[in-house]
Amino acid sequence: MNLINIAKNIFSHPKEFFLENLGIRQTIFKNTLWLVVAEGVSKFLKLILIIYVARILGTTDYGKFNFAFAFVALFVIFSDFGLSQITTREFAQDKKREKEFLAILSLKIILSLGALFLILISSFFITPDPLIQKLIWILGLMVIVENFSAIIFAFFQARQKMEYQAWSKIFEAVIVTAVGFFVILKFPSVQNLSYAYLSTSLVALIFILLFFHFKIFHLRLSFEKSIWQNFLTMSWPLALVIFFGAIYSQIDSIMMGYFGQITETGWYNAAYKIINMTIIPASLISMSFFPVLSKFFRESKEKLQMAWNYFMESIIFLVIPIVVGGIALAPRIIDFIYGPSYFPSILAFQILLIMAGISFLSFPFRQILIVANQQKKIFWAIFGGAIINVILNLILIPRFSLYGAAATAVFTLFLILLLLFGFTLKLTFIKPFNLNFLFSFIGISVSSAIMYFVISQSPIYHLNILLSVLIGALIYLICFFVYEKIISQFKYKFIKNV
């Protein structure tokens, strides 16, 4: 389905196009669009909130909040244990397995309670500060509640009905932003903000469960140990992947807080919050492609390779201009969002942009290994990266603080990418590169270089940052599509002859 056909379907049958699965590309387009809308609205609203939080609370209290949040994030995996992604994969490949969902949901409840217990006990060993301990308790409960909806979303993703997930995320984002702003403006304190996050997470979860129960699948407890054992056997490698992934993504903030660098933790996480926004497009594309890859893995090697190629080219199309443009405009971005008190975040932000780009590139390799039931190999890649990450952070954070942490993140992600690439070549029949990809990569790189040159010029650079970003995006898109128009005939003749 090309862009013209997509446009025709949107205008002629809008309801069917946005709510039904009509074909491969339309389904991917529909699901990606819904996820983009949901994540865009959700992350934008929460980013606006966190900007005001960072400005009002100041770097030290903001650092305490992020230290507590990073610590509880380490334990989230114990509440899911990789079940969500395995559930999506298994249900997408065999719809009959949906009858096992109630048992999986019951297992999720037990795992969540266990994770909460671990958070409460461990809080006494990480810090003597009673305020931070209390933040850990509140945010721990909030994260467990928020993460519980992941198993419901896994069901939606297996059916490729991301619109339900989108509505839920938008609802949650609206209420957390409204309550968060009320609290931070009327009763500004880091503890009150934590209570606001917790209360809105509970409301959102209740809404999701009620909708799912009455519209999708009647909920009840089911303690079928054979199903638990079956899914845990498949999910434990992925659980360890996510756990060690959390280590290399959160341990830097935890170490800085543990070493007493609370203000530096605030600077570092201010940069990281923007980085998390840049990763959203690739994450959404990845979620949209996962059920499609799972389906084709059973049906057709040719269709699987075609979908994976489309996946990889989409990621490359996003990653290069985001990294290049972000590095060019980093000082303006930090100043616009946080103000001069966060200027030490600029260099960390530029380094972390490179990390984000490498993370983008790893998504297709991770997904195809999971689809091929090779999640154990992902574990070894992540495990190796986590060990290196901890060692380098111990060496670099005391000397270089947040900049050492950012450089460690880049090296860690690069090592993981190399390992995932090697495992993909060895364990799947996917061919990562082809001539069509090479031509696209050249066009994307040249277009990004032209964009960098334009937005670096003083008249463009010193415009309002939003206008500078818009101009950069337009320059990139125009250059790329002109390149595609010029090269298209030559490209297809060359590929055909080869």
Q: Is residue 50 part of a domain?
A: yes
Task: Locate 63 and state its tokens.
Answer: 């650092």
Q: Would you say residue 373 lies in a domain? A: yes
Q: Are 103 and 170 in contact (CB under 8 A)?
A: no
Let me know if residue 138 belongs to a domain: yes
Q: What is the pLDDT of residue 495?
A: 52
CB-CB neighbours of 399 under 10 Å: 8
Distance from C-alpha of 448 to C-alpha of 468, rounded to nearest angstrom: 14
Q: Quick one: 435 exposed, middle or buried, by C-beta within 10 A (0-12, 13-18, 19+)?
A: exposed
Q: What does the pLDDT read at residue 6?
A: 45
Instruction: Output the pLDDT for position 28.
Output: 63
Please name the residues in contact with 452: beta carbons below 8 A apart, sequence gap of 6 or more.
Answer: 324, 325, 328
- The predicted-structure confidence for 392-417, as pLDDT tens digits, reads as follows 999 999 999 999 999 999 999 999 99
Please name the residues in contact with 201: beta carbons below 8 A apart, sequence gap of 6 or more.
Answer: 142, 145, 146, 172, 176
Predicted pLDDT of residue 3: 40
In this prediction, residue 323 carries a pLDDT of 95
162 in a structural domain: yes
Residue 5 domain-assigned (yes or no)? no
Domain residues for the domain of 338 are 22-432
- How much is the average pLDDT of 355-381? 88
Please count the structural domains in the chain.
1
Task: Look at residue 2 in the predicted model and tell me its pLDDT.
Answer: 43
pLDDT at 197 over 60: yes
- pLDDT band at residue 497 under the 50/70/90 scheme: low
Is residue 451 one of the residues assigned to a domain? no
Is there a domain that residue 69 lies in? yes
Distances, alpha carbon 121 to alpha carbons 148, 239, 251, 446, in Å: 21, 21, 19, 53
**pLDDT reported for residue 11:** 44
269 in a domain, yes or no?
Answer: yes
Q: What is the model's pLDDT at position 328?
A: 96
Check residue 329 and give its pLDDT: 96
Q: How confident is the model at residue 472 (pLDDT cuts 50, 70, 90)?
A: very high
Per mean pLDDT, which range of 167-171, 324-328, 399-403, 480-484 is the poorest?
167-171
Q: Is this prediction's pTM over 0.85?
A: no
Q: How confident is the model at residue 494 (pLDDT cuts 50, 70, 90)?
A: low
Task: Band the pLDDT of 8: cuts 50, 70, 90.
Answer: very low
Mean pLDDT, rounded, for 443-465: 94
